[in-house]
């Protein structure tokens, strides 16, 4: 408890069999005892170290208390534990577990960096450093899963998806976006999945102005990811899945020019495509009227929009949606692709699988990747990358939780089950002992994850 606190205890008389006193006097205690797993996960990724290597330290050496690696680690571990703001440093400064995560003595070691130090750090990173950090994040994730799969990778799927990041101040490049009906940024997130695995791993997080078109920067981001993937997995087939906002001529031309690359890109409906889909819609209406359920018919057409240099294959899903107490509604959908399989297989087995990206985006918002409250646009991009790094470590914990009750848990659930543990830290001349509760309901999962990350049972 800090010396300036006026709340020393709380009394609960008349509620329990005896008077209960809650006393805030545990100076060696922490509510983040399970965060030791984050440190262990980072030891396998070396993500904090690699991101730090992208930065230049221009401070005067004699006046430095906190190294760049300490600052990166402090922010990444704090964000993963639920402290996304620099202001949280004032509350966490003396936390023994967070000091331990930085390799400091949990009792006598130097406190964490203060909010002013964190703020200066976030605002000192330049554009070139941010680019290197973005590329390092992608390389680290790809290398980690290449090692996990022993390089037995025959297909990598890339999903890009934009999301809104509402702003509430005078942030640079914050604009009003009519689609989201708010002032915001419009970051784009990149995910990769391997072979037939369902999990989509975050590998890119790029902040963009609030008025950015959906496809802004997509070609550059895809070019970078494809180059890194080809370097790690020569000859691998790459599959790209995108929603309708990315379907512009420049991006499609880029995808067509790649070798061993498959793509499925949604396309907005227009008068010509709706007319082509009409026969299918008629058949779907008859089926729906007969069954009383939503029905759909698949088809395809070789189609060229006005600015396309040639025709491309477009898969058509002619669907009639039927809901209780509502009139049937026509819902034609269109997907551009260079794949050769049947329209139904392409739509249902390939394109629809990208829908799980929405769950990953929700998790990122739960981790508060939208806490971009700095005035500087580049400082906010730095925050986005730090949050992305924290999310990568949380995905590593989920990966290590295979076969446990945490195997498919959302990030917030993982935090509550594994990280938010009351702990007491005891310091002796020979070792540091972390006392965790025996009545911990997820102890088997915690122990298994810790052992998979290198802990030894003793």
What are 106-117's pLDDT values in tens digits?
989 999 999 999
| Averaged pLDDT of the chain | 93
Residues of the chain with pLDDT > 70: what percent?
98
Give the model's pLDDT for residue 24.
80
- Is residue 8's pLDDT more than 90? no
Q: Encode pLDDT of 373-418 as tens digits.
A: 999 999 999 999 999 999 999 999 999 999 999 999 999 999 999 9
Q: Which residue has the tokens 């260079």?
A: 338
Q: Is a pLDDT exceeding 90 seen at residue 202?
A: yes
Q: Which pTM was predicted?
A: 0.93
Q: Determine the pLDDT at residue 3.
A: 47
Task: Give the whole-number percent of the chain exceeding pLDDT 90.
Answer: 81
Residue that has been written with the tokens 């993982």 in this structure = 414
Report helix, strand or coil for 198. Answer: coil
Q: Do 319 and 251 touch, CB atoms closer than 8 A?
A: no
Q: In the block, which residue shows the tokens 């949050």?
A: 387
C-alpha span between 386 and 224 (Å, rounded): 20
Q: What is the pLDDT of residue 89?
A: 86
pLDDT band at 127 (very low <50, low <70, confident <90, very high): very high
Buried b (16+ CB within 10 A) or exposed e, 285-296: beebeeeeebbb
Would you give the end-to-end CA distance of the chain in angstroms? 32
Burial call 204-222: b when 16+ CB within 10 Å, e when fewer: bbbbbebebebbbebbebb
pLDDT digits (tens, 9 = 90+) for 75-93: 999 999 999 998 888 888 9
> Which distant-in-sequence residues (6+ apart) come within 8 Å of 160 by Cβ?
188, 189, 190, 191, 204, 218, 221, 222, 240, 242, 246
Mean pLDDT of 306-310: 91
Phi first, then psi: give them for residue 190, nearest 5 degrees. Answer: -115, 135
Q: What is the pLDDT of residues 143-175, one digit of tens each?
A: 999 999 998 999 999 999 999 999 998 899 999
Question: 7 pLDDT band (50/70/90 cuts)?
Answer: low
Q: What's the mean pLDDT in 25-47?
A: 91
Structure tokens at 214: 């959906």
Separation of alpha carbons 293 and 282, rounded Å: 15
> Stretch 304-333: mean pLDDT, rounded?
92
The yes-or-no verdict on residue 458 having pLDDT over 80 is no
**Model confidence at 2: pLDDT above 90:** no
C-alpha 284/C-alpha 290 separation (Å) is 10
d(CA 219, CA 242): 12
Tokens of 20: 């209960």
C-alpha angle with apex 83: 77 to 89, nearest 5 degrees? Answer: 85
Mean pLDDT, residues 326-342 taken together: 94
| Contact in structure between 190 and 226 (CB atoms under 8 Å) | no
pLDDT at 1 (0 to 100): 38
């Amino acid at each position: 408890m800090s010396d300036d606190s006026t709340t020393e205890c709380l009394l609960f008389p008349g509620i329990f069999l005896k008077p209960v006193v809650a006393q805030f006097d545990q100076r060696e205690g922490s509510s983040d005892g399970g965060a030791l797993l984050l440190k262990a996960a980072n030891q396998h990724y070396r993500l904090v170290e690699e991101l730090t290597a992208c930065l230049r330290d221009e401070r005067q050496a004699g006046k430095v208390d906190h190294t760049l690696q300490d600052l990166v680690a402090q922010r990444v571990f704090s964000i993963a534990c639920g402290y996304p703001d620099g202001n949280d440093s004032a509350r966490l400064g003396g936390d023994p577990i967070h000091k331990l995560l930085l390799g400091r003595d949990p009792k006598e070691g130097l406190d964490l960096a203060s909010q002013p130090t964190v703020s200066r750090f976030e605002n000192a990173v330049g554009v070139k450093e941010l680019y290197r950090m973005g590329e390092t994040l992608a390389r680290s994730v790809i290398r980690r899963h290449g090692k996990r799969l022993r390089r037995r990778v025959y297909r990598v799927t890339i999903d890009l998806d934009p999301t809104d990041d509402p702003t509430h101040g005078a942030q640079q490049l914050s604009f009003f976006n009519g689609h989201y009906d708010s002032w915001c940024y419009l970051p784009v997130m990149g995910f990769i999945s391997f072979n037939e695995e369902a999990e989509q791993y975050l590998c890119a997080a790029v902040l963009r102005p609030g008025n950015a078109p959906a496809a802004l920067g997509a070609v550059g981001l895809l070019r970078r990811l494809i180059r890194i993937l080809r370097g790690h997995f020569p000859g691998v087939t790459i599959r790209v899945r995108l929603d309708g906002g990315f379907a512009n001529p420049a991006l499609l031309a880029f995808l067509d020019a790649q070798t061993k690359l498959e793509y499925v890109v949604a396309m907005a409906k227009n008068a010509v495509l709706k007319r082509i889909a009409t026969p299918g819609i008629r058949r779907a209406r008859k089926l729906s009227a007969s069954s009383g359920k939503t029905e759909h018919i698949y088809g395809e057409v070789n189609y060229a929009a006005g600015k396309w240099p040639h025709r491309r294959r477009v898969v058509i899903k002619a669907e009639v949606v039927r809901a209780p107490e509502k009139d049937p509604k026509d819902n034609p959908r269109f997907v551009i692709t260079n794949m050769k399989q049947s329209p139904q297989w392409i739509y249902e087995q390939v394109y629809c699988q990208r829908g799980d990206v929405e769950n990953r985006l929700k998790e990122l918002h739960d981790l508060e990747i939208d806490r971009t409250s700095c005035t500087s646009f580049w400082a906010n991009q730095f925050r986005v990358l730090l949050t992305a790094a924290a999310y990568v470590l949380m995905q590593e914990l989920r990966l290590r939780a295979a076969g446990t009750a945490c195997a498919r848990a959302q990030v917030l659930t993982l935090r509550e089950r594994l990280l938010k543990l009351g702990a007491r830290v005891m310091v002796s001349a020979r070792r540091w002992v972390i006392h965790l509760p025996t009545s911990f309901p997820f102890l088997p999962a915690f122990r298994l994850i810790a052992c998979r990350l290198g802990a030894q049972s003793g």
